[in-house]
């Protein structure tokens, strides 16, 4: 991923400074967890009162198992049912 960013001439440090807040916690990838997570704080209040957001990347089936909702093309929060999970897998 980093090689692609460099190839396209993107200034990585500038991009990180713009989009990655200083107040975050990172859980590095492990073969046991099969995912990496970054917890970002102070993202603004949500309808549930949280001001935190977690970003995960890793094996699709592991990430999907952690999901209960998805955002549709209009940004609406939709419950992720087992049938849709099966279709995605």
User: In whole angstroms, what is the distance from residue 57 CA to residue 36 CA?
Assistant: 5
* pLDDT reported for residue 44: 67
pLDDT at residue 56, as a whole number? 92
**51-77: average pLDDT:** 88
pLDDT score at 43: 66
- Surface-to-core class of residue 58, CB atoms within 10 Å of its CB (0-12 exposed, 13-18 middle, 19+ buried): middle
Compute the Cα dihedral for 47, 74, 83, 53 and give only its sign.
negative
The pLDDT value given to residue 1: 81
pLDDT digits (tens, 9 = 90+) for 8-45: 999 988 888 887 777 788 899 988 889 999 888 766 66
User: What is the band of 64 on the pLDDT scale with cuts at 50, 70, 90?
Assistant: very high
| pTM passes above 0.75 | no
pLDDT digits (tens, 9 = 90+) for 72-86: 898 888 999 999 999
Measured distance CA(24)–CA(80) in Å, rounded? 27
């Amino acid at each position: 991923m980093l090689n692609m960013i460099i190839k396209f001439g993107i200034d990585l440090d500038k991009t990180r400074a713009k989009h990655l807040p200083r107040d975050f916690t990172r859980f590095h990838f492990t073969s046991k967890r099969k995912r990496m997570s970054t917890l970002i704080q102070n993202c603004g209040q949500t309808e549930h009162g949280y001001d935190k957001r977690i970003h995960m990347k890793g094996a699709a089936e592991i990430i999907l198992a952690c999901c209960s909702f998805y955002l549709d093309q209009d940004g609406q929060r939709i419950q992720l049912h087992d049938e849709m999970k099966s279709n995605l897998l």
